[in-house]
Amino acid sequence: MTTTKTLTPLREVLYRFSLSRPIPDAELLDAFIRRYPEYAAEITDFAIEVAVDAALGDEDAIVQAVEPTVSPVVSRAMSRFQNHLFAARRVRLATPAREPTPPSVTENPFAVLDRTAFRRLAARLNANTVFVAKLRDRQIDPDTMTTGFRKRVAEELGVPLDVTVAHFAAQAEGQAPQFYKAEQKPVAIPRQSFEDAVRSSGLTVEQQRYLMSL
């Protein structure tokens, strides 16, 4: 009798990864790649996103935090990581900001953002792309958000407050097309409280305090 293995959805794997440690290191990356080898590339890309946003301009700190000494898979991943790090910083300096098109109430106001605009939004919110991805995918319980925070997000998105409120209140989405594979199906994941989302997104202490103060 043949037993068919049921794959854990990618989004759930990345969600677990983000909760495991604020800033990923080689040991964590190796553990997740061994457990979910089918998502090795996606997990590595996600680790890169978190590490780049947590770097605060300290490249040596990043390289030390994810030193490729655990396995050949992680070693290759870390080589990709360093290449991506320098490329991402060149893009940040060279690419001009793109003004998003105002969406309607039924649309996701984050959907019009490309990667560069998405990163710029995270910077303006004094956050990182991991946290903003949770806003985009409605992974945070809107009832736990402050009015001040919702207003700030609306201002930075350049959309009316009611559009932002409606987005957060709608049912959580699956993967956004610009970040995940098209064949991945949406998966229902319990929403985090605003405080838990802030604490588990790899933000600095200062960033956490700022967001919690809005």
Decide: 154 and 161 in contact? Cβ < 8 Å: yes
For position 31, what pLDDT does the model report?
Answer: 84
Show the domain range for 183: 115-213
Give a yes or no: residue 36 inside a domain.
Answer: yes
- Beta strand extents in the chain (DSSP E only): none
Same domain, 90 and 119: no
Residue with tokens 């893009």: 91
Do 153 and 74 belong together in one domain?
no
The type of residue at 41 is: A
Per-residue pLDDT 10s for the chain (214 aa) are: 455 566 788 888 888 887 787 777 777 888 888 888 888 888 888 877 776 665 544 444 444 444 444 456 556 665 665 565 565 555 555 545 555 444 444 478 998 888 888 889 999 999 999 999 999 989 999 999 999 999 999 999 999 999 999 999 887 754 444 444 444 555 556 789 999 999 988 888 999 999 999 9
Total number of domains in the chain: 2
pLDDT at 56: 45
Residue from 163, 140, 154, 152 nearest 213 by CA: 152
Task: Identify the pLDDT of residue 103.
Answer: 44
Residues 143 and 61 reside in one and the same domain: no
Cα angle 52, 81, 130 (rounded to 5 degrees) comes to: 35
In order of 50, 119, 174, 176, the CA distances from 183 in angstroms are 24, 25, 11, 11
Query: Nearest CA to 186 among 129, 130, 137, 118?
Result: 137
Q: What is the DSSP code string of 86-132?
A: HHHHHHHHHSPP-PPPPPPTTS-TTTT--HHHHHHHHHHTTS-HHHH
Q: How far apart are CA 88 and CA 194, in angstroms?
A: 28
Distance of alpha carbon 160 from alpha carbon 164, whole angstroms: 7
Does residue 68 form part of some domain? yes
Do residues 134 and 141 touch, judged by C-beta distance below 8 A? Answer: no
Closest Cα to residue 176, out of 128, 120, 115?
115
pTM of the predicted model, to two decimals?
A: 0.54
- The pLDDT score that the predictor gives to residue 164 is 92
Q: 140 pairs with which residues across the strands?
A: 192
Do 203 and 160 reside in the same domain of the chain? yes
Give the pLDDT score at 150: 93
Tell whether 21 is covered by a domain. yes
Q: Are residues 57 and 124 in the same domain?
A: no
